[in-house]
């Protein structure tokens, strides 16, 4: 069992409010803040180069910690500034030509979809959408009918930004690989709240952010690439870190996933990312997942009992994102009114998951995402405030 009181002591930002937006940008724990501030102070004392050199081993350990988090080796991890950067770096390294196909799902995130559409238009590739099944998750049977030897990539969102469903991954990966396609897993909303192992899932690449469930600083993220695959891919952009200039007309790529990195970075933030990963691992991945899932289910059952409130989550398996609407209220207004009551949620708009929201006739939903540091009193206070608002 998690030590809730210790988690809350480590999270002073949760003591004076009900914070339910870890799916947006969570509250970093005190050890993460201490690591970031200490390095910034050291940079002020000795300069950024010296400070970074002093922490070279700790910076290398960040990849090892992230590797333990997802069941990967450190050489398969690239440190980047966001999940979007991670996703795009891999996507643009996958060869794509006229006549090739890319498959996306109905819950594809807008940034991913835009990148796919832009590149497909420029090279003459085709983008096809995998339908959802009656439960709202990716329809594996429909995927099988869509696959052929022209499919180069299947983009799979593990957990969508607008609801709590968890998509099946292993089934998708096995089907895609049977037709020679790669699978890129968007784990932006799953890393830090759900146990996952890239070896068991079989994905070729995974993109993730630090700022959400992992509780790391903003401006941090990472990319996992299957090591044997990474050695065959050339990123669209390189620098003197991702490659070595070996002759007037030649360069040599880094041998591992660091070919997807750039030399310049926020060292303090990356150290904070490593501390956040270690903090999460020390708590226990399974313990965190159980606590987050229990809190979310408490909110779903409580919201469903309030007249005029509709829970919008889909999926056979659900996680820590809870989406809902209140009759007669725009979700943005619900967010503002709850904020006035010192309750932090957010609104997920149609443009973020255009296909899914359009199919369901939704312009927006309210999104609440309770992390393990939320107390039972926090959750019940949130439900009481929504009840007051709805009535």
Structural domain boundaries of the chain?
4-28+284-390, 31-282
Token pair 């724990």: residue: 29
**How confident is the model over 16-74, as pLDDT tens digits?**
999 999 999 999 999 999 999 999 999 999 999 999 999 999 999 999 999 999 999 99
Residue 311: its H or E element: strand 309-311
- Do β-strands 250-253 and 243-247 pair in parallel, antiparallel, or remain unpaired? antiparallel
The two structure tokens encoding residue 46 = 């000795």
Q: Which residues of the chain, if any, have pLDDT below 70? A: none
The two structure tokens encoding residue 361 = 């006739």
Architecture of domain 4-28+284-390: Alpha-Beta Complex (3.90)
Which parts of 179-326 fold into alpha helices (H)? 198-201, 227-230, 267-283, 285-304
**CB–CB of 315/164 below 8 Å?**
yes
pLDDT at 10: 98
Specify whether domain 31-282 bears CATH 3.40.640.10. yes
**How confident is the model over 235-285, as pLDDT tens digits?**
999 999 999 999 999 999 999 999 999 999 999 999 999 999 999 999 999
Q: What distance in Å separates the CA atoms of residue 202 and residue 125, rounded to the nearest whole number? A: 25
DSSP state of 351: G
Residue 382: its H or E element: helix 376-390
Which parts of 28-75 fold into alpha helices (H)? 30-46, 48-54, 56-70
Whether the predicted model's global pTM rises above the 0.85 cut: yes
pLDDT at 84: 98
pLDDT at 1: 81
Instruction: Give the count of beta carbons closer than 10 Å to the beta carbon of residue 234.
Output: 12
Q: What distance in Å separates the CA atoms of residue 170 and residue 177, rounded to the nearest whole number? A: 11
**CB–CB of 186/83 below 8 Å?**
yes
**Residues, the chain:** 391
Q: What distance in Å separates the CA atoms of residue 345 and residue 370, rounded to the nearest whole number? A: 9
DSSP state of 16: S
pLDDT at 231: 96
**CB–CB of 238/253 below 8 Å?**
yes
The answer to whether 4-28+284-390 and 31-282 have equal CATH topology is no
Token pair 């832009």: residue: 118
Residue 83: its H or E element: helix 83-91
């Amino acid at each position: 069992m998690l030590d809730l009181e210790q988690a809350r002591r480590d999270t002073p930002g949760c003591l004076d409010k009900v914070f339910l937006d870890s799916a947006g940008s969570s509250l970093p724990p005190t050890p993460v803040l201490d690591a970031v501030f200490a390095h910034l102070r050291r940079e002020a004392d000795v300069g950024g180069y010296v400070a970074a050199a002093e922490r070279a081993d700790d910076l290398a350990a960040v990849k090892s910690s992230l590797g333990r988090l997802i069941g990967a080796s450190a050489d398969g991890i690239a440190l980047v500034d966001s999940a979007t950067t991670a996703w795009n770096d891999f996507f643009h390294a996958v060869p794509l030509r006229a006549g090739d196909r890319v498959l996306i799902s109905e819950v594809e995130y807008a940034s991913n979809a835009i990148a796919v559409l832009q590149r497909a238009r420029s090279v003459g590739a085709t983008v096809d959408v995998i339908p959802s099944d009656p439960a709202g998750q990716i329809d594996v049977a429909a995927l099988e009918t869509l696959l052929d030897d022209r499919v180069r990539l299947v983009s799979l969102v593990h957990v969508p930004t607008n609801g709590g469903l968890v998509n099946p991954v292993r089934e998708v990966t096995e089907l895609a690989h049977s037709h020679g396609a790669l699978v890129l897993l968007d784990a932006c909303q799953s890393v830090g709240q759900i146990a996952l192992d890239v070896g068991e899932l079989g994905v070729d690449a995974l993109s993730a952010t630090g700022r959400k469930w992992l509780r790391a600083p903003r401006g941090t993220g990472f990319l996992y690439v299957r090591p044997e695959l990474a050695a065959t891919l050339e990123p669209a952009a390189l620098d003197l870190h991702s490659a070595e200039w070996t002759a007037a007309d030649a360069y040599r790529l880094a041998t591992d996933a660091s070919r997807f990195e750039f030399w310049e970075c926020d060292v303090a933030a990356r150290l904070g990312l490593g501390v956040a990963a270690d903090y999460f691992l020390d708590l226990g991945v399974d313990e965190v997942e159980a606590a987050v899932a229990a809190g979310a289910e408490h909110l779903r059952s409580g919201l469903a009992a309030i007249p005029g409130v509709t829970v919008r989550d889909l999926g056979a398996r659900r996680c820590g994102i809870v989406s809902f609407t209140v009759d007669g209220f725009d979700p943005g207004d619900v967010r503002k009114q709850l904020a006035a009551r010192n309750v932090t949620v957010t609104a997920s708009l149609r443009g973020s998951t255009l296909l899914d929201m359009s199919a369901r006739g939704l312009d927006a939903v309210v999104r609440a995402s309770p992390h393990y540091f939320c107390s039972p009193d926090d959750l019940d206070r949130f439900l009481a405030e929504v009840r007051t608002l709805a009535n």
